[in-house]
Structure 1
Amino acid sequence: MGLELYLDLLSQPCRAIYIFAKKNRIPFELRTVDLRKGQHLSDAFAQVNPLQKVPVLKDGDFILTESVAILLYLARKYKVPDHWYPQDLQACARVDEYLAWQHTALRRNCLRALWHKVMLPVFLGEPVSPEMLATTLAELDMALQVLEGKFLQDKAFLTGSHISLADLVAITELMHPVGAGCQVFKGRPKLAAWRQRVEAAVGEVLFQEAHEVILKAKDSQPADPTLKQKMLPKVLAMIQ
């Protein structure tokens, strides 16, 4: 059995892995796990990942979870171009620095923005107070300031003159609030220009393909009551 990737392109880390594999012509079998149907909560998927989360990589008998670990595994196994995850010690450390920061900063805030603005009220039918939404968007704004001020600065990409895993992870995160209708690039010309460079480096067709699902998130159908009961506690724990 060849490489299998368990993904749902609603998920931002799944989009990063999908784009990375496609861009680098890594052959894989896509195993779609529909989060909005609760397929990740099934007993069958728990046999693949007991944590009941995507993404998951399965390479023969080897199973790997956690998106950054999967990206690094693919980069190392398939000998992708060096700019994605450089061999140079300090250049590599810059990518690692961003990947370490984003977990509890940009990812958390982008995820909360999507759920508080769209997925909780539309998909799960749970109201979000204006105060909660305002706090979430203010925290997202602070994370964007750090992204632009510390990491991007005046460079073409987050860690230098070429696209890296840092850029790919960052842009897929930012498309979460974009999918919720947030104007994250408005009034941020440096960040907007960076987005255009990342999209061009990835390829516009692939970029749009990977983000088609999230850009239609506002059109999600309400979850049925049984699924809502199963999902709501997990969602609230995830976005707290």
Structure 2
Amino acid sequence: MVLELYLDLFSQPCRSVYIFAQKNNVPFDFKKISLMKGEQYGDEFGQISMLRKTPAIRDGDFCLAESVAIMMYLAEKYHTPDHWYPADLQRRARVNEYLSWQHTAMRPHGSKVFWLKLMIPKVMKVEVPKEKMDAALEDLNSSLNLFEEKFLQDRPFVAGNEISLADLVAVVEIMQPVGAGLDVFEGRPKLSAWKDRVRAAIGEELFDEAHQGILSAQNLVQTVDGSQLEHFKPKILKFFL
């Protein structure tokens, strides 16, 4: 039975898993889950993941959620090149350090800017207070500063001279607010050069394919039926506002 990947490429973690699997020639069956339509709450997906989140995988009778855990599983099962998750203790620790940090720093701040700048005003038709937007941008900029100064420093990639899971997870998160029209790379030559190296290491065609949807988000939201999110609207507004 071929590996099944349950993904929505609007989701940053889904993009990281998709890129990792494609780049490493992992054979899989793409199972599209629309988060906007709430398909993660359906009975069928509930049998794959009780967490009700994407990405998720089914490998025979084995099901697994959480993007980092999934990529580590795929790296070991398919014996992917060492640079992704290095065997060297200290290089692996650098990767683990970033993967541990980003959950409460880069990921929430990039996501919040995306929702406040695009989804809430354009799809939900709710005005976002300026102070909320300013605070979200400040938090994102602080995380970007830390990424450059602490995690990247003067290295080509987080763990050294080659791309790793840390870079892959970082780039998909940093690209999220770009989809809302915020050029986070403007005025950040170090960050921009790193992104270009990551894109080249992944392969420009694969990188662009995976990000096609999110980079078209400003146009796509014009066609989104806001009523699809009505059920989640109170929860979303409470979380972001």
- In the superposition, the TM-score normalised over structure 2's length comes to 0.95
Matched ranges for 1:87-102 at <5 A? 87-102=87-102
Tell me how large the CA RMSD over aligned residues is: 1.4
Query: Secondary structure at 1:162's aligned position in 2?
Result: coil
Query: Secondary structure at 1:72's aligned position in 2?
Result: helix
| Distance across 2 between alignment mates of 1:89 and 1:45 | 37
Task: Report the Cα offset of residue 19 of structure 1.
Answer: 0.4
Contact 1:119 1:217 (C-alpha < 8 Å) held by counterparts: no
Structure 2: 5+ residue runs without aligned partners?
Answer: none
| Distance across 2 between alignment mates of 1:202 and 1:228 | 34
1:223 aligns with 2:231: no
Cα displacement string for residues 9-51 of structure 1 (whole angstroms, at most 9, x for unaligned residues): 0000000000000000000000000122222222332222222
**Residue 5 of structure 2 corresponds to which residue in structure 1?**
5
Task: Report the Cα offset of residue 239 of structure 1.
Answer: 4.7
Structure 1: 5+ residue runs without aligned partners?
Answer: none
Contact 1:111 1:239 (C-alpha < 8 Å) held by counterparts: no
Contact 2:123 2:226 (C-alpha < 8 Å) held by counterparts: no
**Residue 168 of structure 1 corresponds to which residue in structure 2?**
168
| Distance across 2 between alignment mates of 1:235 and 1:204 | 34
Query: Secondary structure at 1:48's aligned position in 2?
Result: coil
Contact 2:33 2:40 (C-alpha < 8 Å) held by counterparts: yes
| Distance across 1 between alignment mates of 2:77 and 2:239 | 31
**Residue 211 of structure 1 corresponds to which residue in structure 2?**
211
- In the superposition, the TM-score normalised over structure 1's length comes to 0.95
Find runs of 4+ consecutive structure 1 residues off by over 4 angstroms: 236-240
Matched ranges for 1:10-89 at <5 A? 10-89=10-89
Aligned residues: 239
